[in-house]
């Protein structure tokens, strides 16, 4: 049992406490990763605010990158010293979804209350999202990590653990966009910008970004959006249709958890188009739509969890695109912070101006 520093949530809605915790050694099929960087996702913030409930005290954080510092029994294909990305996708490999190629939907439960971390007095400490990445080290299942090149900076690599694969994957895997089709991306934050990139990479004809911020719309154009529409427009879907040449979109990617965005999303669709639901509203939030319109126009609404990725398949090709200069990652980082500054970094993220803030560790 070793002592490490972590940012602990003791009470929903209160600042995180940077304190010492205990971390056990990796067991069968697990690896210990010394974290070099962990990005702050809006999901971490929602959990810490109590939006989705959960067990406390807890350590959040699920977009991490670092080096393997210890290996448990039964681990294959990974060695001490390997550079890796750490994700929250903990898959058993044998349940029905895993066996059918959808590890993000693994049905084997994981109890974070009995994970590898405890408070220093030995009492329960929840490893949130099977990761607990707001810490100097993590112990996770070997299936949650992907080995990467040592040449890729860890702050950049951490982004690929969630925000990048969620946005790009929503377009490539969930929407299955074909070259020449049109896309609307609602929300130009971290995930939205990656959805824009995914549409560009997939060969979209036109890509319309929709957001409440004119500044974010300009940034979206740097990532590949061909047009920007302010969500504050009286009927933004009409402006989007005009940008698309009078037709709706083949895919509408909703990357924000705002109920109005979900209410309006079907309005952007072309005949046969699909709404891809990525952003997660708070528990209890309800959207409304008219099923008859969707049925008559052959349209659909599809949930996309983590971009429907297979991390061992998708992370390597995305990082290859990054090394080629075809996938923007450095530009996604708004700021770099120390673990002691995590509450300031969270506040900056909540302000809406940040793309991705990253906690960087010095070992």
- Please report whether residue 261 resides in a domain: yes
The pair phi, psi for residue 257, each rounded to 5°, is -95, 25
Based on the domain organization, do 140 and 176 belong to the same domain?
Answer: no
Percent of the chain at pLDDT exceeding 70: 100
Same domain as 176, residue 269: yes
Residues 104 and 197 in one domain: no
Residue 290, number of CB atoms within 10 A of its CB: 9
Same domain, 76 and 9: yes
Q: Per the structure block, which two tokens stand in for 92?
A: 């058993």
pLDDT of residue 354: 76
SS3 of 158, please? helix
Chain centroid, CA 223 distance in Å: 17
Residue 293 sits in a domain of what CATH number?
Answer: 3.40.50.720
Question: What is the predicted pLDDT for the residue at 362?
Answer: 87
Distance CA(108)–CA(101), nearest Å, equals 15
- In this structure, the answer to whether residues 151 and 172 fall within a common structural domain is no
Measure CA 173 to chain center: 15
Q: Evaluate whether 64 touches 35 at the Cβ level (below 8 Å).
A: yes
With tokens 């958890």, the residue in question is 257
Q: Say if residue 352's pLDDT is above 80.
A: no
Model confidence at 351, in pLDDT bands (50, 70, 90)?
confident
Q: Is 317 within a domain? A: no
Q: How confident is the model at residue 282 (pLDDT cuts 50, 70, 90)?
A: confident
Nearest to 136 by CA among 282, 339, 283, 294: 339
Q: Is the dihedral of CA 143, 277, 274, 207 positive or negative?
A: negative
Beta bridge partners of residue 183, listed in sequence order: 207, 251
Domain-embedded: residue 321:
no
Q: Is residue 118 located within the same domain as residue 258?
A: no
Tokens at 62, concatenated: 């699920």
Rg (CA), the chain: 20
Other beta carbons within 10 angstroms of residue 108's beta carbon come to: 12
Lowest average pLDDT, out of 127-141, 239-253, 348-362, goes to 348-362
Domain hosting 130: range is: 2-160+329-360
135 and 18 fall within a common domain? yes
Residue 237 lies inside a defined structural domain of this protein: yes
- Shared domain for 258 and 128, answered yes or no, is no
Total count of domains within the chain: 2
Name the token pair of 18: 């940077």
Q: Do the domain assignments include residue 188? A: yes
Alpha carbon distance 18, 10 (integer Å)? 11
At 100, the pLDDT band (50, 70, 90 cuts) reads: very high
Q: Do 66 and 31 share a structural domain?
A: yes
Query: How far is CA 112 from its chain centroid?
Result: 19
Q: Does 123 share its domain with 222?
A: no
In a domain, 320, yes or no: no
Same domain? For 38 and 131 the reply is yes
C-alpha to C-alpha distance for 36 and 30, rounded to whole angstroms: 19
| Residue 173 sits in the same domain as residue 126 | no
- Give 355's pLDDT tier (boundaries 50, 70, 90): confident
pTM: 0.93
> How far is residue 228's CA from residue 221's CA, in Å, rounded to a whole number?
8
pLDDT band at 294 (very low <50, low <70, confident <90, very high): very high
Instruction: Give CA 166 to chain center in angstroms.
Output: 5
Classify residue 315: in a domain, yes or no.
Answer: no
Q: What is the CATH number of the domain that holds 147?
A: 3.90.180.10
pLDDT > 80? residue 363: no
| pLDDT(47) > 80 | yes
Looking at the domain assignment, is residue 354 inside a domain? yes
SS3 assignment, position 217: helix
pLDDT in tens, 240-276: 999 999 999 999 999 999 999 999 999 999 999 999 9
Backbone angles phi, psi at 212, to 5 degrees: -80, -10
Is the pLDDT assigned to residue 82 strictly greater than 90?
yes
């Amino acid at each position: 049992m070793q002592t490490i520093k972590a940012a602990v949530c003791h009470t929903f809605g209160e600042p995180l406490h940077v304190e010492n915790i205990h971390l056990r050694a990796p067991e069968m099929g697990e690896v210990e990763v010394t974290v070099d960087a962990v990005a702050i996702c809006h999901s971490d913030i929602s959990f810490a605010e109590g939006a989705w409930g959960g067990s406390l005290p807890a350590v959040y954080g699920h977009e991490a990158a670092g080096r393997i510092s210890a290996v448990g029994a039964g681990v294959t294909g990974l060695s001490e010293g390997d550079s890796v990305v750490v994700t929250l996708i903990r898959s058993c490999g044998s349940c029905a979804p895993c066996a059918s190629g959808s590890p993000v939907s693994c049905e084997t439960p994981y109890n974070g209350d009995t994970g590898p971390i405890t408070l220093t007095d030995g009492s329960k400490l929840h490893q949130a999202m099977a990761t607990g990445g707001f810490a100097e080290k993590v112990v996770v299942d070997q299936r949650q990590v992907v080995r990467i090149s040592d040449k890729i900076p860890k702050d950049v690599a951490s982004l690929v653990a969630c925000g990048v694969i969620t946005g790009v994957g929503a377009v490539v895997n969930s929407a299955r966009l074909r070259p020449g089709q049109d896309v609307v991306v609602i929300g130009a934050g971290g995930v939205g910008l990656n959805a824009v990139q995914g549409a560009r990479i997939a060969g979209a004809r036109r890509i319309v970004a929709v957001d409440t911020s004119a500044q974010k719309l300009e940034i979206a154009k740097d990532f590949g959006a061909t047009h920007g529409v302010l969500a504050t427009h009286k009927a933004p879907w009409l402006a989007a249709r005009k940008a698309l040449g009078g037709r709706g979109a083949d895919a509408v990617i909703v990357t924000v958890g705002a109920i109005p965005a979900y209410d309006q999303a079907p309005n952007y669709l072309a005949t046969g188009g699909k709404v891809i639901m990525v952003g997660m509203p708070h528990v209890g939030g309800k959207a409304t739509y008219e099923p008859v319109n969707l049925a008559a126009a052959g349209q659909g609404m599809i949930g996309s969890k983590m971009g429907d990725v297979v991390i061992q398949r998708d992370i390597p090709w995305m990082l290859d695109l990054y090394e080629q200069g075809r996938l923007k990652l450095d530009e996604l980082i708004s700021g770099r912070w120390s673990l002691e500054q995590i509450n300031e970094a969270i506040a900056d993220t909540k302000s809406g101006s940040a793309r991705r803030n990253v906690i960087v560790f010095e070992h």
